[in-house]
Structure 1
Amino acid sequence: MATETLTAERILAATEDVLRLYGPSKATVVDVARALGVSHGSVYRHFRTKAALREAVTKRWLDRTTGELRQIVEDSSATAEDRLRRWNVHLFEAKRAKAGADPQLFATYEVLLRENSETVDEHIADLVGQLTEILQAGLSEGTFTLGSADVPAGARAVFDATVRFHDPVYAAQWVLPDIERELAAVLDLVLNGLRVRA
């Protein structure tokens, strides 16, 4: 019997461990309950279905990245151009690290992406929202221009232009020897297009 209070956070941490051990197709709520030393009914009191539990653990995993990126967005000591470059590089490095170091959780994310999960949609909206803030900062500094595009549309365009470096469908390419140079080239091109001309 478990002696610690069963919380959603404890369940999510145990679920990550179970997913790493068994993978998304074989991990069960019973496995999570066993790892916690509780009945599966106790887990279901916090998460009504296996799908809800899987979505919650994926959200927790994705939120770690968006939290780190948020620090870059809010770094007012850096220019918008510097923040945009660092934000994209950090996103790429975080996704690549997760694909390599945490393949079972990454596989769960890929399953959810294929299911067109609300969790993944929220994650993408959060990322585009952060890019929107960076572009708005560049407009306020007078260093960026978006032509006739509005800021959210511009942010989505930047997100789409760098998709090869953060969408899991491209994960196999993230280990290629020139991938960092290729990301730098895309960012140079994007930033060149955003800069106000003298």
Structure 2
Amino acid sequence: MSSADAPLTRDRILAAAEDVIRRFGPAKANVVDVARALGVSHAAVYRHVATKAELRDLVVGRWAEATMPPLRAIAAKPGPAQQRLRRLFDALIAVKRRRASQDPELFAAYRTLAADAQSVATAHVEELIGLAAMVIRSGVKEGTFRTVDPVAAGRAVLFATSRFHHPAHAAEWADPAIDAAYNDVWRLLMDGLCVAKPLGE
């Protein structure tokens, strides 16, 4: 069976939508153009995706979901919380930079589409905050971090580091000083979050 003869599924529609967006830009994230790319009627696509807005939400959701498995694994893995929190944000930064360099057309389109998919983008941010909170909560329990609200602290760390992983700042990531700036921000964050050691330790 050729790919053209394969059953029409939501995954196949989303893969085609990504390809259309990659080649022609986010304005082509609509049912008619995706149906044309698949060689099917738009009615066939509408049986799986009800509206253009839903299609865009699904594309953004698929893109965001692809970044999450390694981050979830880091947050769930046992070990010292301070090192896990740094690994979590290092991995978040690495995956965003990799996608920006390997698939720049889709990465740029994602920024535009995410603005119209607020509920999906918000859910993605909330999961990132939740992963950070999970690690911070364990750090409070082990005595590494101060007694803080883990969710509020996770949100603060995510927003304080946004220059290094938020797609809106992608043009800045080529700056040779970006990693040094990240390290400086991280030290300040840890100075505020970590329990102060007694003098002499």
TM-score (norm 1): 0.90
- The aligned residue for residue 11 of structure 2 is 9
Q: Deviation string for 1:24-76 (max 9, x for gaps)?
A: 02344233223323211111111111221111011111111122210111121
Q: What residue is the counterpart of 1:117 in the other structure? A: 118
Number of residue pairs aligned between Structure 1 and Structure 2: 195
CA contact (8 A) 2:145 2:194 kept: yes
- Indicate the percent of aligned positions where both proteins have the same amino acid: 46
1:115-174 per-position Cα deviation (integer Å, ceiling 9, x unaligned): 36111011100100111101011112111114xx41111111111111111222211101
Using a 3 Å threshold, how does the CA distance of structure 1 residues 116 and 53 change in structure 2: closer, same or farther? closer
Residue correspondence of structure 1 range 1-198 to structure 2 within 5 A: 2-76=4-78, 78-115=79-116, 117-146=118-147, 149-198=148-197
Contact 2:29/2:56, CA 8 A, preserved across alignment: no
Structure 2 counterpart of 1:38, one-letter code? V
Question: Does the 8 A contact of 1:144 with 1:195 survive in 2?
Answer: yes
Give me the TM-score of the superposition, normalised by structure 2: 0.89
Relative to structure 1, the CA distance from residue 115 to residue 33 in structure 2 (aligned partners, 3 Å threshold; closer, same or farther) is: closer
Task: Tell me the distance in 2 between the aligned counterparts of 1:138 and 1:27.
Answer: 43
Q: Secondary structure at the match of 2:176?
A: coil
> Which blocks of at least 5 consecutive residues in structure 2 are unaligned?
none
Q: Whole-Å Cα distance in 2 between the matches of residues 131 and 49 of structure 1?
A: 34
Separation in 1 of the partners of 2:64 and 2:196?
37
